[in-house]
Amino acid sequence: MSTVIGRPVDRVDGRAKVTGAARYAAELHPPGLVHAALVTSTIPKGRITAVDAATAERAPGVLAVFTHVNAPRLPYRPFDERPDVDPPGEALRALQDAEVRFNGQPVGVVIAETLAQARHAATLVTVRYETRAARTTFDRARGRPPHDEAEARGEQRRGAAVRAFTQAPVTVDAWYTQPREHHNALEPHATTAEWHGERLMLYDKTQWVENVAIEVAHALGIPTEHVRVLSPFVGGAFGSALRTWPHVIIAAMAAREVRRPVRLELTRRELYTSVGFRPHTEQRVALGARRDGRLTAVIHEATAQTSAYEDHTEETPVPPRMTYACPNVLSRYRLVELDTNTPTHMRAPGVVTGVFALETAMDELAVALDMDPLALRLRNEAKHDEDEDRRWSSKELRACYRTAAARFGWQHRLPRPRAMQHGPWLVGYGMATAVYPAYRSEASASVTLLADGTALVRTAASDMGPGTYTSMTQVAAETLALPIERVRFELGDTEMPSAPVHGGSLTMASVGCAVQAACDAVRAKLGVRAQGPVDYPAALHRRGLERIEATATAEPGDESAQYSSYAFGAVFVEVRVDVDLGVIRVPRIIGAYDAGRIVNPKIARSQCIGGMVGGLGMALLERAAWDPRFGRVMNANFAEYLVPVNADVPEAEALFVPSDDRRANPLGVKGLAEIAICGVAPAIGNAVYHATGVRVRELPITIEAVLGG
């Protein structure tokens, strides 16, 4: 019987974080530390014709200035296998040539004794360019299939969707726009690089320490085992730290050249160009249905931006293909090359975008059918994954609908738009379905039992905020039958057992299963096979041991060939819209989720609220203001790029329906971080329509759009 898993345990790392004991990448101070600042391009495309760094080199405290003119040529050793988080193409090789591929590209770096000196000197570097015509305007007509994945994502068919659509008695056909968004985590990206002879120590903000070691070794041409990466704490990332960005390699190169530890911390503005973003995506969803609401056709066309040097693709077509039962489905996915930096994964990448378009179109179909939006979704529930033609490993979506609708009071909704009002506010109720794949990867962990009756658990995983330290401690304590305070968990070091990328909501299913397996292995090694408490000090003493250690690897089996694994959810939202001013407020968001076994409901609730807030920002606030003249984001700061604050979210509630998916993995979990953002934006948009009668198909939903409708 579970005694620790399922308890709302406080964060074991909470005290370190609130007291400042936790150290992040920009808070390490090795002896002799100096600072670096980037010089970035001011044109979207062209070639550097001249660089004048003389004034910067004479500035106080400056140790060196590197540009493509004098930076060492890095070998960029070929990969035996390209890292999963890198898209097809060739990653930017900063300071290696005179080519400018986007506005904001690093074209130089200044190293100085203090950060202020470095940043001031960076402004003194003069760079002259030969400009070239740049593609800075999104035009979906230029879209093409991804270079290396045309068959997988370019187009997929099931049945005869076009014919079924033209014959359907009720149809919806519209385009939906998701703008470019940025992660804006609390902690900026930073790297501290320190050389010890031929070996490199990197303190980096990353979601995958092992990948940083591989990519830096590849760039510098040194053995991977000569690079140690530490990242014990990450102050939020949401996907922005999955890749190893050029500033990491620049920091390592600079530290080697000046023979001192170097810290390179990106400014808030540089976060809009030096790391990726959620890409601008335009989607057509065409739905055909019988008059009873049964779907007969789903057509989905998505066109997304990428850079001119890499093909970033996402799972945008997946939700329209599998969320609902439909015999005829057609999906197409295209990319538009722009002269900008490469997009990257951002919380629920692609899936949240596809869900937005699909769930808005489903609401439009409900209106066309004069049918309750929840009833429409229930009528079209998919009994199995029709896209992959596999059974669900588990599915409690109906329980999510039922639980959230009851808690929300959906039965009190008046169907007609503008029928509900509270004083000067129009009131709207909206809902949407949420889906996200339940991933799992191979992972390893080690467990050491000590003579004092404590356990040390270690793995190279990351923790960017979802509570990895705590949940893994709970799994270990449960499996070892130890009090939670007798278990110490460590992560974020390439010298620890291998772990996969900390993204895609796969950490609990992957690393958690490895921790469980390692705990079982160390008990077996000690000769303890039965479940229940053990006097570990006595057991070690009988064997004359001070400690005993075991390492285990857990990996997926053939379950993915037998079952389709997804987390599911239902999101219900109330909005209020000022009758005269068009101001939108969201007093309530309620979500119910089937996320498998919940290891820690307190942390799980926190993750869901964070996802809801992110979805609210997507719906009402977040958008990069793009200036095609310069090929640059113009609101690259917290003053103008709007994100939700406490006053924007009066009530957010997360509910978890009973679920335990042992078909997916031994722990029965399905991942949680991403599912919570999915469905929020369309639920808000659907509620805005219900309140006002104005359908807005482009995010964010603005006052102008509401009043203009």
Do 471 and 408 have their domain in common?
A: no
What is the mean predicted confidence (pLDDT) over 342-346? 98
Q: Which residues pair with 66 in a beta bridge?
A: 109
What's 327's domain CATH number?
3.30.365.10
Do 118 and 267 have their domain in common?
A: yes
Do 550 and 677 have their domain in common?
A: no
- Host domain of residue 318: 142-180+277-438+562-708
Count of alpha carbons within 13 angstroms of residue 640, beta-carbon side: 11
Q: Domain for residue 77, yes or no?
A: yes
| pLDDT bracket for residue 622 (50, 70, 90) | very high
Do 448 and 506 have their domain in common?
A: yes
Length of the chain (residues)? 709
Least confident of 148-157, 568-577, 682-691: 148-157
Q: Does residue 148 carry a pLDDT above 70?
A: no
- Which pLDDT belongs to residue 152? 53
- Could you say which of 187, 210, 301, 674 is catalytic? 674
Q: Domain for residue 10, yes or no?
A: no
Do 415 and 495 have their domain in common?
A: no
Do 594 and 673 have their domain in common?
A: yes
Do 571 and 643 have their domain in common?
A: yes
Q: Domain for residue 18, yes or no?
A: no
Question: How far is the C-alpha of 595 from the C-alpha of 657, rounded, in Å?
Answer: 8
What is the mean predicted confidence (pLDDT) over 642-653? 93
CA 92 to the chain's CA centroid: 21
What is the mean predicted confidence (pLDDT) over 645-649? 92
Q: Domain for residue 36, yes or no?
A: yes
| pLDDT bracket for residue 147 (50, 70, 90) | confident
What is the mean predicted confidence (pLDDT) over 51-57? 98
Question: How far is the C-alpha of 369 from the C-alpha of 362, rounded, in Å?
Answer: 10
The reply to whether 674 belongs to the active site is yes
Torsion-angle region of 551 (φ positive above 0: left; ψ -120 to 50: alpha; else: beta): beta
Do 507 and 646 have their domain in common?
A: no
Q: Is the peptide bond before 700 cis (omega within 30 degrees of 0)?
A: yes
Q: Does residue 1 carry a pLDDT above 50?
A: no
| pLDDT bracket for residue 154 (50, 70, 90) | confident
Q: What is the DSSP letter of 593?
A: E
Summarize pLDDT for 498-548 with one digit per residue, the tens.
Answer: 999 999 999 999 999 999 999 999 999 999 877 789 999 999 999 999 999
**Cβ neighbours for 708, distance < 8 A, ≥ 6 positions apart:** none
- Which pLDDT belongs to residue 82? 84
Do 264 and 284 have their domain in common?
A: no
Do 610 and 514 have their domain in common?
A: no
Question: How far is the C-alpha of 57 from the C-alpha of 77, rounded, in Å?
Answer: 31
Which of 555, 577, 607 finishes a domain? 555
CA 290 to the chain's CA centroid: 37
Question: How far is the C-alpha of 292 from the C-alpha of 299, rounded, in Å?
Answer: 19
Question: How far is the C-alpha of 334 from the C-alpha of 391, rounded, in Å?
Answer: 29
Name the amino acid, one letter, at 490: E
The CA-based angle 190-60-262, given to 5 degrees, is: 25
What percent of the chain lies above the pLDDT cut of 70? 99
Q: Domain for residue 388, yes or no?
A: yes
- Which pLDDT belongs to residue 657? 98
- Which pLDDT belongs to residue 149? 53
Is residue 522 within 8 Å of 449, Cβ to Cβ? yes
- Which pLDDT belongs to residue 150? 44
Q: What is the DSSP letter of 263?
A: E
What is the mean predicted confidence (pLDDT) over 222-228? 97
Residue pointed to by tokens 């959906």: 410
Summarize pLDDT for 377-416 with one digit per residue, the tens.
Answer: 999 999 999 999 999 999 999 999 999 999 999 999 999 9
Do 450 and 597 have their domain in common?
A: no
The CA-based angle 337-341-342, given to 5 degrees, is: 70
Cβ atoms < 10 Å from Cβ of 594: 27
* Domains held by the chain: number: 3
Which of 502, 525, 555 finishes a domain? 555
Higher model confidence: residue 565 or residue 709?
Answer: 565
What is the mean predicted confidence (pLDDT) over 258-267? 98
Name the amino acid, one letter, at 238: F
- Nearest of 680, 699, 625, 678 to residue 175 by alpha carbon: 699
Q: Does residue 709 carry a pLDDT above 90?
A: no
The overall pTM is greater than 0.95: yes
Cβ atoms < 10 Å from Cβ of 456: 16
What is the mean predicted confidence (pLDDT) over 362-383? 98
Q: Domain for residue 154, yes or no?
A: yes
| pLDDT bracket for residue 650 (50, 70, 90) | confident
- Which pLDDT belongs to residue 74? 98
How far from 269 is each of 184, 272, 555, CA to CA, in Å? Answer: 10, 6, 40
Average pLDDT of the chain? 96
Strands (DSSP E) contained in 54-148 are 62-67, 99-100, 106-112, 126-131
Cβ atoms < 10 Å from Cβ of 415: 13
Percent helix, strand, coil in the chain (nearest 5)?
Answer: 30, 25, 45
Q: Which residues pair with 554 in a beta bridge?
A: 443
Q: Does residue 128 carry a pLDDT above 50?
A: yes
